[in-house]
Amino acid sequence: MRLSSAAMPILCGVRKTASEMTKTKPEPQSGILGIDPYVAGRSMAPAGVRIHKLSANETPLGPSPKAKEAYLAAASSLELYPESSHIKLREAISKRYGLAADRLVCGSGSDELLHLLAQAYLGEGDEAIATEHGFLVYPIVTAAAGAKLVAVKEKNLNADVDAILAAVTPKTKIVFLANPNNPTGSYLPVEEMRRLHAGLRKDILFIIDAAYSEYVMANDYECGIELVAMNENVVMTRTFSKIHGLASLRLGWMFAPAHVVDVLNRTRGPFNVSVPAMEAGIAAIGDIEHFEKARTHNEKWVNWLTDEITKLGLKVTPSVGNFMLIHFATEGAKTAQAADAYLMARGLILRSVASYGLPQCLRLTVGSEEANRLVVSTLKDFLDAK
């Protein structure tokens, strides 16, 4: 029997409204289509040119040889699901940093953990705070949760504690802080971190993104472990992508109060970290020799690059990470865009940071000795060119 058009809206006992009848496809939640997708650093250069990719803050030393061996060994059991609690990896992290294993959560990169935290603690009508040149994932995860990100002005390209505290409203539920910050390379000393936390309500979750903490040599820096250990509203996220060189495996971890750990273990995927990633992570975090070699290489060359590029007449923001922000002219022939094109044509791929609100800058990752020297000589040629 053929149904009449009048009967269609109440098919199966469900009466549809006129607006529902006119919709032609499923619609995402409000605000999703307003999100600007994250754009990673480029990895391609003109054909025939040797590439030095210095756009993604990847370590030039690569991962620990022990991590590579562990990764390859895991290939013998790819048919098996991962152990869902990540207990061996959490115990390895616990041993390395002296943290309680039951206060750790592992994820597919620290990005996944940031997403999970935003989904759990933000909702429609809520606000999160981040600094104006903070990591681009913060506005993405905030908008995806239906909340609003409040971007706070920085002071000399560093987080301004007073400005952050002034931006807090009754709607504030999360404060994101990258320490050190990407892409500026700046950091907040431990006393300023404590002052910031002390000024926040106890129901505001203070998220310390310490992805680059292993590179920091400053005596007045603390990655966030102490604040997490002593408080119920602080979490710290970390990654294996940077100094450990496991970026392609997507592996991160979080140290948090027990109640936050409980929330994320209820909402994360049961098998959100692969076996090869976990095995490589366990080996990497235990290879102290490789870790120290990476720190030593970075300290030497971040200082050398800063000095040499400054000698060329370019401003470089002091950095405690494995990258630096280079400032160019805002107009004329020597802009960041012109420098980027000049470097790219010669196989040197840096990171444009216009999407971070810094169109006059390029971010340079510390590379191999060859790449570092080539960047400096090529920048000199660019500046000398008529």
Q: Are 142 and 121 in contact (CB under 8 A)?
A: no
Tell which CATH architecture fits domain 65-286.
Answer: 3-Layer(aba) Sandwich (3.40)
Distance, CA of 73 to CA of 79 (rounded, Å): 13
- Cα separations (Å) of 278 from 74, 236, 251? 9, 19, 8
CATH 3.90.1150.10 domain extents, the chain: 52-60+289-384
- Please calculate the CA angle 48-54-56 and round it to the nearest 5 degrees: 120
Strand ranges in 228-313 using DSSP code E only, listed in sequence order: 234-239, 252-255
**Residue 116 DSSP SS3:** helix
CATH 3.40.640.10 domain extents, the chain: 65-286
- Cα separations (Å) of 111 from 123, 138, 210, 253, 305? 19, 9, 12, 10, 29
Q: Are 118 and 126 in contact (CB under 8 A)?
A: no
Nearest to 64 by CA among 282, 289, 284: 284
- Phi, psi for residue 302 in degrees, rounded to 5: -65, -35
CATH superfamily of 52-60+289-384: Aspartate Aminotransferase, domain 1 (3.90.1150.10)
And the tokens for 367? 């590379």
Q: Cβ of 133: how many Cβ atoms within 10 Å?
A: 24
**Residue 46 DSSP SS3:** coil
- Please calculate the CA angle 135-107-126 and round it to the nearest 5 degrees: 50
User: What predicted TM-score, i.e. pTM, was given to this entire model?
Assistant: 0.90
And the tokens for 178? 């990258």
Nearest to 34 by CA among 140, 158, 185, 114: 140
- At a CB cut-off of 8 Å and minimum separation 6, what does 58 contact? 241, 242, 245, 247, 365
And the tokens for 264? 């994320």
pLDDT in tens, the chain (386 residues): 555 555 555 555 666 666 666 778 877 777 777 777 767 666 666 667 789 999 999 999 999 999 999 999 999 999 999 999 999 999 999 999 999 999 999 999 999 999 999 999 999 999 999 999 999 999 999 999 999 999 999 999 999 999 999 999 999 999 999 999 999 999 999 999 999 999 999 999 999 999 999 999 999 999 999 999 999 999 999 999 999 999 999 999 999 999 999 999 999 999 999 999 999 999 999 999 999 999 999 999 999 999 999 999 999 999 999 999 999 999 999 999 999 999 999 999 999 999 999 999 999 999 999 999 999 999 999 999 98
